[in-house]
Each structure stands twice: as structure tokens, then as C-alpha cells.
Amino acid sequence: MKKIAIYILLLFAGLFESIAQDSLKTTLKTFKPEDQHGISYQLVGQILSSYHYRKVEINDQLSSKILDNYLENLDPGKVYFFASDIQKFEEYRNQFDDDLLQGNASKAFDIYNIYQQRMYDRIQFTFDLLRQNMDFSVMDSFLVNRDSAVWIGSYKEYDDLWRDKTKSEALLLKADGKSYEVWSDILRKRYYNLLKQLAKTKNEDVFSYFVNSLTEIADPHTNYFSPRAAEDFNTSMSLSLEGIGATLQSENEYTKVREVVKGGPADKSKLVKANDKIVAVGQGKEGEMVNVLDWRIDDVVSLIRGKKGTTVRLEILSVDAIGNKTKIVEIVRDKIVLEDQAAKGSIKEVTQNGKKQKIGVIVLPTFYLDVAAMQRGDKNFKSTSRDVKKLILDLKVQGATAIIIDLRNNGGGSLQEAIDLTGLFIKKGPVVQVKDHFGAIEIDEDQDESITWEGPMCVLVNRFSASASEIFAAAIQDYDRGLVIGERTFGKGTVQNMWDLNQFVKIGSGKVGQIKYTMAKFYRISGGSTQFNGVIPDIEFPGMYSDKMFGEAASEFALPYDEIPKVNYSPQGNAKAKLNDLKAIHVSRMAKSKYYQFLLEDIELASANRNRNYFTLNEEVYKAELAKNEEMKKVREKLKKELKEKGNEEEGNLILDEAIFLLLNNVQ
């Protein structure tokens, strides 16, 4: 009976593939630029060369970078193009700059047409592989880190590479307990969905791929939006109306979570983090999981977005996953309201050196400002600085003797709110400098001489504290008003502006896209930029996320750190007076902390996994690796339980607890 079932499955699978192939043969087409693309291409080049902060020079050097970056974006794993294709493209290496000036994007389409043919060929090859038996007992491996791989030289190498690639995908499913019928069907549907995505591709998509390979050379925050993407910018690209509360972006074949919206369903689940990768999406509690590898970002968004109260399931490859093992996360869609992202305050009661203390903790998810309410004259409009001021006054009433501002995972927001928030802790004075693309420097100041909180304070940050968070933390640090504790911040110290290209040109009744470009840079009042280096904490914790993988420094094209003259300001505190002593206390205390040791172990394990070059194709070896990881988890949980029972340590917020301890030691 089982053999008959397998035979029927294969019969229908073969028919399924045949239908897929036949349907795609009628839709596989030759892409070519449309009339508006040449003009849009020229306009983007003019904006980058004249108005971008970096002022991109249009020359052979830029042309060479365009070619390399376009190929990298299309085929980052070097699994589609042949070495002979790359050799052919070398003819274009010094021609893209001339084409940019002339508005000629045809070479990009020529490259994409070959890419499309190669992808189609490999999908058909994979369908053939899935009809064959796979031997998971042989000692073999697949090169997963292909940064240093060479381009494929022959069809034999091509087939061997894809055989290993498909086998690695199958092993992940098989080792998870899935039968042949199940895992082969999952992979078959995965590649059929990829065929459908390939068939949906339009000329505008190809143009967008190419132009963004140009814009990101200027810097990673400069992007071209097609007319469709521009219209959906505030809805489709950010699922903050009715969805899971996350901003997504494409990265290689994956859809990656760029940011989790504070207070949203994804954030509340505690199961989705920035830089997680979405592998598949399912509707409701029982709906089929649809694989979304290599999908267009807008199509992935349309699957995830939905009505409030409905359920969506995501198969996620976590940023800290071990062994590429995925997990299924179930999220109920909801609306994101401003109150969910608002600052929240609480009191932490602690006893130190026999003395009870109350520490006020204010968690700030983002720098928000309800502009619409403010403009219509609502006296109670919500803003970061207004809400935090109320919280501070309430914490004073409750007897707080010190305050912690928690900016971890705060990706920024309103610049003016960062300035006004700084003003709650200092007298009138400069907060940040802004240098534009012409070289003009503007100094933004807090002009309110009143101080809401004069007592001891500190600021908590991590790798995903960015932009406005970095401006506030840097100002508190420069004024010596409080200590900054945690991980080095993201390093996003640039300002973007959006230009609608339709204002420059009209193409009949059609539309052209928009460009978001970097036009200014933030600098501390002490002169250094927050860009690239971020804010380095006074008391620094090691982080799970390497600066080579996450943050501004992870981008090859990020604007560099530099300095301008400092402004005239005077310290308004003495938070660093005992800094050397505090560092020594911190090192000594953390050396005795089991949870700190757990953190170091997690960092080492995550780093080893990220830097892993090969994935085993032997089922026994792979299962042994998984079993080892599971055993480590069990040992860890047992240790945590013992610590809790003995009362020595209880699992909690390591950095927050340490910040409270150091803050109290700093004022004694």
C-alpha cells in the first residue's frame, strides 16, 4: 500500500511539474527597457552626482562597481551564472557610466535575461533530482559560505553543485522527521512557486533590481522605488496598519525582518526579531505553508498582511539559529496604535549595601510624534518628550532616586523629539550637528532652560539602537550627564529625503518612480559623527550580533566615520568621575555571573554557526549535531532552575540589572 501511495504521489508530482513547465514556457520572455526607464536612469544618476551627500562621480570606477554589485545582487551564492557568462559581461565593465549619462539600461536587461534562463534551467534540474533517490549516508558536504567561491566552469560542476544544494535542503526537512513523501513535496512546491515568481517578473522589476544596485553604491539607505513600490511604501513595505507589525526587505533569496514595530503582534510574541529570515507563510492555523524563497517583496507582504484578528503562520530562520533549523511562529494580526509604541515607566525596588532604593526605568521603543494631532491644535497630542516628562514627574512622586532610559532596539524616529528629550536632562544647549551635502553645518539646540530630572541617570543601548537613539545617547554622554551602558549602537548617522521623479518628467499618462537618497549626516556636539562607529558605551557588553554582520559597518558602501569641529558646550554632570572604578567592579561582578557566562557561550555558538563554511550532507552526522545542541539546551535549563532554587541568580534582564547596580555604585 505504501509503495502504491508513493507511486501515485510521484505520478501526480510529475504531472504537476509538467503543467508548471508548460505554463512557464508561454510566460518566459525577453525583458527589455521601457521608454520611461532611460529617463528615470538619467535622473537617478543626476541626483546621486549632484545632491547625494557622497556626490557620486560617474566614471569607469563607478561602472565597474555597478557591474559587480548587480551580479552580486542577482547571484550572491554563485549558483546560477557560468564563468563564461561572467566573461561575456566583462565587456560591459567600463560602459555603465556612459550608459548612465545617456539613459541606456539595455545591458542590465541583457544580463537579467541570461540570469532568468539559468534559473529556469536549474529549477527544471531540481525537479528531475526530486524524482531520484538521495543517499544521505555518504560523507559529503555542501559549501554554504560561497563568498570566496569561483564561478561555475562546466555543466558537470553545475549539476554537482545543485545536487548538493538540493540535498542540503532535503536533509534539513528529513532530519526534522519528515517522510520522503512530505519533504519531496515541500521542495517540489518550493521550486514551483519560484517558477511562478519568475513568470510574474516585469520589465519594471528588472529595472528596479538594476537601479538599486547603483543607488546602494552611494550608501545603503539610498533606494529607488518603482511606481508600484512608491505607492505602497507606507503600507505594503511596512505591515503596521493591519498585519504583524514588521518592516521587511529582500536579502539574497530571503525576505528579512528589517525592523520589528514596538507594540505590534510580532513584538508581543517575543518570537520574531530583527534580521530573522522568513522562509514560508501559512494562512490560519491549518493553511498550507507557502515557501517564499526568491519571492518578490511585495508578494511576500501581501501574504503576511491581512485583517485584524486573523492568524498567519511564519516559518522563520532565526538570526541566532543553530544548524539552519527553522521554527514556526503563529501570530494574530492586529492594528498598531501609537499607545502601544509609547514610552512606559516603572519602578525597580532594590536593596544594595543594606539600603533600599527605588530606580525609575523608562522604556522608549521609538521617538514618536503625533504630527496630525499637533497640527490640528490638540493640546494633548502625544510625543516622546511630553510623555517622558510626565513619566519622570510620576517617578519622582513614587520616590525614584535615579532613572534609566532604555533605548535598546529603538531604531530612531523624530529628530526634534531626540533634541527635546535631551532637554529634559540638561539646561539650554546644543544637542546635535547636521552637515548637508553642500557642506553647510546646522547646530540644533535645546532652548528650554528648565530641567525635568537633575538626578543620577544612565542610558541603555544595544546593536539595534539607531539614528535618534544614538543622537540622544551621544548628547547625554558628551554632557557627562549619565553613563551609557550596553552594546555598541547601530551607527546610522545619516538623513534621507524622498524625491518623486514624476515632478521632473512626464511620460504620457504613465508614472516613473521615486528615490530616497541621503542628503545629510549627523555629528555629535563633540565633533565625531554617529555614522558607522555608532555610540560606544561607557560600560560595554559583548553582543550577539557582530558589527560585520549587523549595523552600518556591515555594508560595503556605508558612509565612513569622520569628524567636524566641536561646538561650544560645557559638561553638565560628572557621571564619568568614577568610570575606571565602575569598569573594574563590572568586570569582577560579571566574572561571577552565570548568566553572563551563558551570554558569552551563546555569542561563541552563534559566531561559529555564522562563520561555518560547510553543511554536512550525512544524516547521521547532522542529527548528532542537532542532538548535541539539544543536550546543551537541557543542561542550560537545568542550571537556570538550580540557580533560581538556590536564590543566587534568577534569569532576568542581565544588562538592566547590571545598570542598576552600577548606577547605584556611581552615586554612593
Query: What is the structure's pLDDT at 251?
Result: 74
Would you say residue 266 lies in a domain?
Answer: yes
Distance separating alpha carbons of residues 33 and 632, to the nearest angstrom: 55
Mean per-residue pLDDT, 448-462: 97
Same domain, 310 and 379: no
Res. 23 pLDDT band, cuts 50 70 90:
very low
In a domain, 550, yes or no: yes
Q: What is the pLDDT of residue 507?
A: 67
Identify the pLDDT of residue 234.
Answer: 42
Annotated catalytic residue within 63, 236, 467, 529: 467
Crossing angle (nearest 10°) for helices 203-218 and 35-50: 10
pLDDT reported for residue 508: 64
**CATH number of the domain residue 295 falls in:** 2.30.42.10
In terms of domains, do 57 and 144 share one? Answer: yes
Whole-number Cα distances in Å, 76 to 97, 102, 115, 487, 553? 23, 29, 12, 30, 19
Residues 357 and 312 in one domain: no
pLDDT score for 326: 85
Question: What is the structure's pLDDT at 505?
Answer: 74
176 included as an active-site residue: no
Please tell me the predicted confidence (pLDDT) of residue 624: 93
Tell whether 61 and 149 lie within a shared domain. yes
- Asked whether residue 580 is assigned to any structural domain, the reply reads no
Candidates 573, 563, 481; CA nearest to 529 is 563
Burial of 495 (0-12, 13-18, 19+ CB in 10 A): middle
> What is the rounded average pLDDT of the residues 203-218?
96
Phi, psi (rounded to 5 degrees) for 503: -75, -15
| 492 part of the active site | yes
Residues 363 and 305 placed together within one structural domain of the fold: no
Give the pLDDT of residue 11: 34
Q: Same domain, yes or no, for 100 and 200?
A: yes
Mean pLDDT of 390-409: 97
Compute the average pLDDT of residues 632-661.
Answer: 82
Average pLDDT score over residue span 24-35? 77
Task: Give 547's Cβ-side CA count (13 Å radius).
Answer: 17
**Same domain? 70 vs 87:** yes
Q: Average pLDDT of 33-51?
A: 94
Average pLDDT over residues 41-52: 96
Identify the pLDDT of residue 112: 97
Q: Is the CA virtual torsion 365, 366, 372, 376 positive or negative?
A: positive
Give the pLDDT band (50/70/90) at residue 607. confident
Q: Is residue 224's pLDDT more than 50? A: yes
Asked if residues 340 and 240 have their Cβ atoms less than 8 Å apart, the reply is: no
Half-sphere exposure of 116 (CA within 13 A, CB side): 25
What is the model's pTM?
A: 0.88
Residue 144 confidence (pLDDT) above 60: yes
Helical H segments across 239-296, by residue range: 265-269
Q: What pLDDT sits at residue 75?
A: 95
Is 544 contained in some domain? yes
Q: Kind of pairing, strands 494-500 and 483-486?
A: unpaired
- Sheet of 344-352: strand order equals 344-352, 355-363, 402-406, 457-461, 483-486, 539-540
CA atoms within 13 A on the CB side of 466: 20
- Helix extents (H) in 347-499: 371-375, 384-397, 415-423, 468-478
Looking at the structure, tell me whether residues 108 and 198 fall in a common domain.
yes
Task: State the catalytic residue, choosing from 65, 256, 492, 521.
Answer: 492
Question: 296 pLDDT band (50/70/90 cuts)?
Answer: confident
Neighbours of 272 (CB within 10 A): 22
Least confident of 405-419, 550-564, 638-652: 638-652
In angstroms, what CA-CA distances link 644 with 54, 350, 586, 651, 652?
54, 18, 22, 8, 11
484 in the same domain as 344: yes
The answer to whether the Cα torsion of 114, 115, 116, 119 is positive or negative is positive
CATH number of 480's domain? 3.90.226.10
Confirm whether 50 is domain-assigned. Answer: yes
What is the number of structural domains in the chain? 4
Q: Are residues 22 and 63 in the same domain?
A: yes
Best CA proximity match to 451, nearest among 427, 475, 473: 427
Which among 222, 240, 270 is the end of a domain?
A: 222
Residue 328 domain flag: yes
CA distance 163 to 185: 17
384 and 398 assigned to the same domain: yes
Helices (H), 264-315: 265-269, 297-304
Single residue among 160, 193, 222 that ends a domain in this structure: 222
DSSP letter at 250 equals: E
For the chain, percent of residues with pLDDT exceeding 70: 91
pLDDT mean over 176-202: 90
Under the banding of pLDDT at 50, 70 and 90, the label for residue 232 is low
Amino acid 13: pLDDT: 40
E-assigned strands of 262-396? 277-283, 290-291, 311-317, 327-332, 334-335, 344-352, 355-363
Cell numbers that stand for 209 in this block: 533590481
- Pick from 18-22, 470-474, 561-565: least confident: 18-22
Average pLDDT of the chain is: 88
Whether 627 and 180 have beta carbons less than 8 Å apart is answered as no
Lowest mean pLDDT among 378-382, 433-437, 532-536: 378-382
- Domain containing 361 equals 340-571
What is the C-alpha to C-alpha distance for residues 207 and 46, in angstroms, rounded to an integer?
Answer: 17
| Interacting residues of 238 by C-beta distance below 8 A, sequence separation 6+ | 247, 261
Please tell me the least confidently modeled range out of 34-43, 152-161, 185-194, 313-322.
Answer: 313-322
Instruction: Kindly indicate the confidence band of residue 650, based on its pLDDT and cuts at 50, 70 and 90.
Output: low
Final residue before a domain boundary, out of 203, 222, 241:
222
Give the active site residue among 185, 219, 444, 478.
Answer: 478
Is residue 361 located within the same domain as residue 328? Answer: no
Residue 665, in any domain of the structure: no
The residue-averaged pLDDT of 32-48 equals 94
- Whether residue 478 lies in the annotated active site: yes
- Residue 285 carries which DSSP code? T
Q: How far apart are CA 456 and CA 454, in angstroms?
A: 7
Query: Which residue would you say has higher pLDDT here, 111 or 354?
Result: 111
Residue 47 lies in a domain: yes
With cut-offs at 50, 70 and 90, classify the pLDDT of residue 20: very low
Q: Burial level of 372, CB count in 10 A (0-12/13-18/19+)? A: exposed
Distance, in Å, from the CA atom of 78 to the CA atom of 65, rounded to the nearest integer, reads 17
CA neighbor of 258 nearest in space, from 270, 271, 243, 245: 245
Residue 59 burial (10 A CB sphere; 0-12, 13-18, 19+):
exposed
